[in-house]
Structure 1
Amino acid sequence: MSTTAEPTPADAALGVGAWLHGVVREADPATLAGIAGMDGTPVRAVRAAGLVAVVSNAPLTEYGEEPLRRNLEDLAWLERAARSHHAVVDTLSRAGAVVPARLATVHRDDERVARVLVEREAELSAALARLTGREEWGVKGYVVPGATPRTEEPAGGGGAGAAYLRRRRAQLTAREEGQRIAAEASTAVHTALADHAVAARRHAPQDRRLSGAATAMALNGAYLLDRAALDGFSALVGELAERHPELRLELTGPWPPYSFVAEPSTEPAPPEPA
């Protein structure tokens, strides 16, 4: 789906486009009436090809091609838009499977939205089937300065004195060594979690200014889980935290399945919700 507004004629600048939030199989009109869209009015449904697109009114003075391009460079505007968009998608995801649209997917009108549903019916239906009964969960791993990984002492390894020296050496390693240890631990954690998930994605670690954490993030993983598998997955996160004290693991979610919606190859290829 497009990440910017579709081109519109200059005389349509005062019109209203359609900001796409996501696609579902069905949407209760009463539920939609209680969800505020991008302009503060309730979202609405556009139905075609057995699918439902949930959209907001998007005044083209703000969401048209040129205004949107400028607004996407305004961090305050972008944050407000992202929060509003996510609030709608999150509400839809709690009612059932949803294929979230990327931020700032704006179409000229409802007719164009319906045409997209028809053109992409097979792809969207397959995605909804794959996401039904499943949720996205995140696991973030933050570096614990000074912590040493737990390792098995090799046989004949020199006894307690040698073991102490090895532990002491690990505590005094250079920053590069600490980064290596954290990287290896985060890879091991992600691999173990991915084995217990339907699908997994490893995103780039968030900057501290975005994460708000006191230490660096080494793991920013997303995992698609069957709802029934959550308890076991949560227990595994706890086991891995004990096994890898060099990382502080944080389980977050559930989130709409932003990380597990494939983008069409013909369009430009989002932040895991904080």
Structure 2
Amino acid sequence: MSSTAEVAPDRRAAVTGVWLHGVVRDVDRVALATVAGMGGVAVRAVSAAGLVAVVSTAPLDEYGEEPLRRNLEDLAWLERAARTHHAVVEALARQGPVVPARLATVHTDDGRVAASLAARRAELSATLARLTGRGEWGVKGYLVPGASVPSVASGAGGGGVGTAYLRRRRAQLTAREEHQQVASAAADAVHVALCEVAVAGRRHAPQDRRLSGVSAPMALNGAYLVDTAALPRFSDLVGSLGTRHPGLRLELTGPWPAYSFVAERPEPAGAGGESR
């Protein structure tokens, strides 16, 4: 998981930094006061160049470059930080389009945040325009055990007990491979069909069972940018594709902030003093 942190020119003078959550066109500042950011403190807004960055004040003894590098190796700390960051981005997404910042983007001060907004005004504005009236939806496809699997040969055919066992075992392995091939082809077909309705689609690597929380293997982990007006059609299509491909159990999730369709996340201005 990547991170970005600026180096303060004078570490002794810098007590707090600024954790960037995301960029929006405008925001309800009263509502922001109810959204908890890093360390449980309410997030706030930094405006520049017709854009608004939503940030948390971040103590540099925890969120500075060196502490961040250590903390990002601490899975418990990382999970807490990711959950807090994502909760802020979700709150912003409920109000309108948002360009999420990558996890652990920390600036030294509000001035650097404003400079970044000004430097990237054109691309950030274009991204926000592209996301307006659209949402990211996920479609996961899980293998259905036993579906579309050829019947396994019995032990008949002579050759003794050992030969019969090997024959059955070979048939089982062949059936499993064919099942996986059928599921892979079905996942490809589902993705292509969904992309015809969505504005854009992207396939991510299938999640490990420990992450998905589902015992069945995942064959499709797709993300789709869908116009709000086209959502009923998209949802109906997911249902019909599930019927058409019984070897896959399709699951529609969302809407999510459009993480999958933001090619470049907001980062600190300037090349010096970044670590990833």
Alpha-carbon displacement from aligned partner over 1:16-52 (angstroms, at most 9, x marks no partner): 1111110000011111111111121110100000000
Aligned with 2:184: secondary structure?
helix
> Deviation of residue 5 (structure 1)?
1.2
Map of 1:218 onto structure 2: 219
Structure-1 separation of matches of 2:247 and 2:193: 16
Name the structure, 1 or 2, with higher relative contact order (CA <8 Å, separation 6+).
Answer: 2
Structure-2 separation of matches of 1:13 and 1:240: 59
Is contact 1:12–1:60 with CA below 8 Å preserved after alignment?
A: no
Aligned with 1:39: secondary structure?
helix
Map of 2:180 onto structure 1: 179
> Deviation of residue 9 (structure 1)?
4.3
> Deviation of residue 10 (structure 1)?
6.0
| TM-align CA RMSD | 2.1
> Deviation of residue 169 (structure 1)?
6.1
Map of 2:41 onto structure 1: 41
Is contact 1:13–1:60 with CA below 8 Å preserved after alignment?
A: no
The AA in structure 1 aligned to 2:141 is G
Distance 1:6 1:234, change over 3 A: same
Is contact 1:4–1:69 with CA below 8 Å preserved after alignment?
A: no
Map of 1:91 onto structure 2: 91
Alpha-carbon displacement from aligned partner over 1:201-230 (angstroms, at most 9, x marks no partner): 100011111111111111100000111111
Is contact 2:148–2:179 with CA below 8 Å preserved after alignment?
A: no
Is contact 2:134–2:227 with CA below 8 Å preserved after alignment?
A: yes
What is the count of residue pairs matched by the alignment? Answer: 249
* Structure 2 length-normalised TM: 0.85
The AA in structure 1 aligned to 2:250 is L
The AA in structure 2 aligned to 1:102 is R
Structure-2 separation of matches of 1:191 and 1:230: 17
Aligned with 2:113: secondary structure?
helix
> Deviation of residue 13 (structure 1)?
7.8
Structure-1 separation of matches of 2:90 and 2:148: 39
* Structure 1 length-normalised TM: 0.86
The AA in structure 1 aligned to 2:225 is L
Q: Which runs of 5+ in 2 are unaligned?
A: 154-170
Corresponding position: 1:231 with 2:229: no
Alpha-carbon displacement from aligned partner over 1:53-93 (angstroms, at most 9, x marks no partner): 00001111111111111111111111111110011000100
The AA in structure 1 aligned to 2:106 is V
Aligned with 2:219: secondary structure?
strand
Map of 1:61 onto structure 2: 61
Corresponding position: 1:260 with 2:258: no
Corresponding position: 1:168 with 2:151: yes
The AA in structure 1 aligned to 2:80 is R
**Range that drifts further, 192-201 or 255-264:** 255-264
Map of 2:73 onto structure 1: 73
Structure-2 separation of matches of 1:44 and 1:12: 25
Structure-2 separation of matches of 1:12 and 1:131: 41
Alpha-carbon displacement from aligned partner over 1:105-145 (angstroms, at most 9, x marks no partner): 11111110000000000000000100011100000011112
> Deviation of residue 8 (structure 1)?
2.4
Structure-1 separation of matches of 2:217 and 2:32: 40
Map of 2:192 onto structure 1: 191
Aligned with 1:7: secondary structure?
coil
Q: Which runs of 5+ in 1 are unaligned?
A: 150-166, 269-274
> Deviation of residue 188 (structure 1)?
0.6
> Deviation of residue 168 (structure 1)?
2.9
Corresponding position: 1:144 with 2:179: no
Aligned with 2:40: secondary structure?
coil
> Deviation of residue 180 (structure 1)?
1.3
| Paired residues for 1:193-212 under 5 Å | 193-212=194-213
Percent identity between matched residues is: 69
